[in-house]
Structure 1
Amino acid sequence: MNFFASSGFLDATAAVYFKDRPATIENVRIGDDVLRLLVVDGKKIITRLLFLDYHEPLAAGEIAGPVRSGLFADRVSRGVIDVDDRSDQELAPFVDWSRFNGFDHYYDRLLQRHHGLMRDRERRGRALVSRFGNLTFTLDDRSEDVLPLVRQWKGGQLRSIGLPDFFTDPRTLAFFDHLQQRGLLTTSTLRAGGRLVSAWIGFIHQGAWSGWIFTYDPALKKYSPGHQLLVRMLDASYQLGHREFDFSIGAQDYKLLYASHGRVLAKIGNPSAVRATMMFARDALLQRRPDLFAAALRGKWALQAAKRRLSLAIAMRQS
């Protein structure tokens, strides 16, 4: 059972994104598969949220109790392929540590496939040390400067490419705080001479290390601070005996560089006519006018923020 079907993740989702609404965790059959999902208000089946990356169908032994019927879900794992066999499929890339006899074996594979690039990033790491001081990797860094800088760096990156900054939604930090208080959040960092240079916010669940946010100080881009952190995280993941390092959804180039395999993600079931029309319009707009798609997302987030402010104002007046 992956993290997105775990009680910890689903409870946090209910507490933050569906606050004060009745929510239960239920098994839901969609087509031939059963997923473990959040059901809100006794009827609304939640299959997609900002931090719900992908679904994995439950194994037969994981299905207990009643099973309700659902219509549709996307980003459902349909199997695993070698990352070199990808085509136009939607993937969640990962490193399968069972394929390697040691971290050196894995790193040798990276050197064989991307020798010039890897050596260049090693050189940049040495330059970072020379300029700012020794590098310190922390697997779970609870220092007070981490989240503010992550918010600044990632928010700036999202805005620079025309995407909405999800940190403007107060529920984002509330969600991370909820997970952290329950020991379910892992915030990994790299510092150079004490200065924070890159960070990863994610989780470790049942031998799989994954996450949502990977960011770095843009002023230090020429030193490849993301790589300097990631290679240390991958080493730590292997040494800790993890079964995999999961880059989650999105087949970005940097993920494909480090990954050995990818989960193929696809839709299951049949969406309602209204949802099918909305999905078609969304996909068409994303393909033909990504700028308008990003603007629509920003408008949606602004409307949601306005609704939350209005609800708060009404509540304050009534109190």
Structure 2
Amino acid sequence: MPGTEQQAAAHVRLSQVSKTFTRGRNGPRMVALDDVSLEVAKGEVFGVIGHSGAGKSTLIRLINGLESPTSGQVHVGGRELTRLSEADLRGVRRDIGMIFQQFNLFRSRTVAGNVAYPLKVAGVGRQERDRRVAQLLDFVGLLDRAHDHPEQLSGGQKQRVGIARALATEPSLLLADEATSALDPRTTGEVLALLGRVNRELGVTIVLITHELDVIRAVADRVAVMDNGRIAETGTLYDVFAHPRTTAAADFVRGALRDRPSVETLARLRRRHSGRIVTVAIRDRAGFQTALAKRFLAHGVAADIIFGGISELQERPVGSLTFELTGPADAVDAALAALRGDGVDVLEEDS
């Protein structure tokens, strides 16, 4: 269990939270969240990934106080939301910025008008409002588009307006709900780079909800994998990518790194290669690949790389390599046993 000091530093904390919905007056109950506990530290970028229906959207609505848990506790900024009045909840929400998948901009307002809207609602005076809008549009690189309307902007520009609007009231917490799902890969990279600046330069804590692990991979410090309303796994970005402990996490990692052969690719490899096919997880160790080659050579086994990929994640290597091993069966067995004895993860694709 986290200690008191760690809890005090948490910006968001969910403790054994469950959320159940009932379809219709007497309809069946649907469990959206089931005994979810997690912490988001102040100043970090925390990613939450999961397939559609995993509970991500419900989670974010609990964090911003738009939904109440059926059981458990939700703390934001040290305050338990379930104990607050609606007036107090509105105060908490003013310290939370939201970025949406479909931008949610007012078509009738200019870019500047969209960014100014939450400031106007908060009662900020015209002069200060104008100063803040100009500052934010300059930050997101759209000061020259202040008088345009949303239909004149590209998708990436619309999302930049959404980010500027979310930052208007100077929140300490930013919730991004599938914020890049409607964007092409290049624009996604630009928006994620901007979110990185928001975190680094403004010190804003970010919770990033997505089904795209590449998005998490680009900016997150830590990640939680959701599966069927539960937290399947949580940890540093590198640990979850390099050493997934659950099937749900492993499925996401494989899709993001593309370093393991699919079933179809493996069948094609088997038709072209008659030796034993094994996949070896890359370790963050100096000379790791050289050590692999020496192990195979010492046992008289020829090892040819036939698939794989190595990426850099938080300045550390992650990925896997698939080999065709040829040589006497007992020699191959001995080489693989030696590697496992070294602590290397080896998967025999033929098994």
TM-score, length-normalised on structure 2?
0.25
Q: Would you tell me which structure has more helix in proportion to its own residues?
A: 1
Task: Tell which structure's C-alpha radius of gyration is larger.
Answer: 2
RCO higher in 1 or 2 (8 Å CA, sep ≥ 6)? 1
